[in-house]
Amino acid sequence: MSQTIPAPPQATPATPVIRLSGVSVAFGGHEVLKGVDLEVRKGEFIAIIGPSGGGKSTLLRVVAGLLKAQRGTVEVLGQPAMVFQDYRLLPWRTVEQNIRLPIELTGRGQVETYLGMKPYRQYYPHQLSGGMKARVAIARALAQEAEVLLMDEPFAALDALVRERFNLELKQLHQRTGKTILFVTHSIREAVYLADRVVVLTGGRVEAILETKDEGRITAFTDGLEAELRQRLGVADSTFIEPSPPPARPPWELLGVAGLSGLFILVWSLLAARIPLFVPSPAQVATAFAQNFGLLLQQAGATLEAAFWGVLTSLLLGLPIGYAMGRSRALERLFSPFIVALQAIPTIIIAPLLVIWFGYGLTSKVITVCLISIFPVLVSTMVGVREVDKTYREVFQTMGASAWGVFSKLEFPGALPVVLGGLRLAVSLALIGAVVAEFVFGGAGLGYLANSERLNFRYANAFAAVGMMVILGISLYALVAGLEGYVLRYRRK
């Protein structure tokens, strides 16, 4: 049973802000915590130390509310802030945006300190070293303005020199803010230096609680030979990782594209020479393209209109349905048979029914485009939502994020890389759907123009219409790829 201690109007240094009584946690029949009793007073720095598998991180997760105790009671003053061992910075948010995340989610708190990261506030996590990521994670936790700060081996991945500097800074930070800190570590020296008390946790039980305040070294820097080594090595600090410049396109790629294009034109020319009546030459198509450019642009506009509204309809329908399926396996099992069945039915069979129901106008074309392009939107959204790392969800849980906060700050940006990949395919299919609809329903558009010119044996004009379709397809694909590159600019080059 867990409960939260209401914040008292005034708190003295002796006020307990964490109280664990007989707390037990088991996984798969194995008891990880066994009747743990612990009280932490306001403003204390408590280090938890013990062998691997002893239950240290589990204890921290219980205090954070990420795990429920099977037995015992857990009382915590307010919602603790947590610094995870792997930091869990959102890769699509800059340093400043990561630090401000809890403020955006709850509307409370403030940026107390950037911990020296202000010059780098517009950089993304992949551009930072481990030490800089640790600074951002701690600054983000401080922005929550929580009374209790939980730290799960935050310096474990840092080299020894940087770790000692962080020990010194953390000690000064604790003295300045007066936060109550629970700090998990494997380092005896670190525990003794930082903590007021050290909790020894072995086999899921509290074996001892040692008073260590003022018992450790006065500073993180020792005397004797270690001092000489430190003088020679200097004081370590975290560093900025300069992103590598984008690689230049290798010459063989450009030559390959040019070579394949030349080969295609050669085969086309040979085919045109062999069947001149039905296959116009590249020169004839180019001439027809130039002569009918105004008409082709006009018809391309009609095709783009149908494709645009079809893609928009696919997004409006596919994104919420795909999101719901991604969040619920039951909904996926309910909707999947119907979606797959609809995708398996050839659109050309449904087209006559659309004519009866909606006529020959734009509505029928938009529905046709939507039926063809909605499937990749649905699937990519469902997969993208499921690809969001569960560990990030725990970060949002410790911040007390609302459902909307989780969606807008985590699920939507986290699923976006997969969704944009699906959008590339959807746009290509939408253009095909628009052309198919113009073949079936008539009216304006490149598909109608190509079909009518073919029926009138003006094959050069029909091929010119197809060429305009190719240009449209490449342009739309490049547009989505450019959008993807801009939105996902936080990724490592």
- pLDDT tens figures, 349-384: 777 777 778 877 888 888 888 888 999 999 999 999
**Domain at 280-487, CATH from 1.10.3720.10, 1.20.210.10, 1.10.10.970, 3.40.50.2300:** 1.10.3720.10
316 — pLDDT class (breaks 50, 70, 90): very high
* Residues 476 and 429: beta-carbon distance below 8 Å: no
Q: Range with the lowest mean pLDDT among 16-25, 32-41, 251-260?
A: 251-260
pLDDT at 19: 92
Which whole number is the average pLDDT over 417-421? 91
Place of tokens 């481990």: 130
Q: How far apart are CA 35 and CA 25, in angstroms?
A: 9
Helix (H, G, I), strand (E, B) or coil at 320: helix
Start-end ranges of CATH 1.10.3720.10 in the chain? 280-487
Does residue 10 register a pLDDT over 50?
no
Phi, psi of 427 (to 5 degrees): -65, -40
Name the pLDDT band for 240 (thresholds 50, 70, 90): very low
What are the residues facing 150 on neighbouring strands?
Answer: 82, 182
pTM of the model: 0.75
* Res. 215: pLDDT tops 70: no
pLDDT on residue 187: 83
What is the Cα 354 distance to its own chain's centre?
A: 40
Identify the pLDDT of residue 260.
83
Are the C-beta atoms of 48 and 59 separated by less than 8 Å?
yes
Which uninterrupted H or E stretch holds 34? strand 30-41
d(CA 57, CA 456): 77
Q: What pLDDT is attached to residue 492?
A: 58
Domain with CATH 3.40.50.300 in the chain: 2-233
* Distance between CA atoms of residues 45 and 149, nearest Å: 9
205, exposed or middle or buried, with CB in 10 Å at 0-12, 13-18, 19+?
middle
CB 490 within 8 A of CB 91: yes
- CATH second-level architecture of 2-233? 3-Layer(aba) Sandwich (3.40)
How is 411-479 classified by DSSP, letter by letter? IHHHHHHHHHHHHHHHHHHHHHHHHHHHHHH-SSSHHHHHHHHHHTT-HHHHHHHHHHHHHHHHHHHHH
CA 447 to mean position of chain CA atoms = 39
Q: Confidence band (pLDDT; 50, 70, 90) for 90?
A: very high
* Mean pLDDT, residues 43-71: 88
Q: What is the mean pLDDT of the chain?
A: 83
CA distances from 433 to 308, 365, 423, 471 (A): 11, 8, 15, 16
Identity at 159, one-letter amino acid code: D
The answer to whether the beta carbons of residues 46 and 199 sit under 8 Å apart is yes
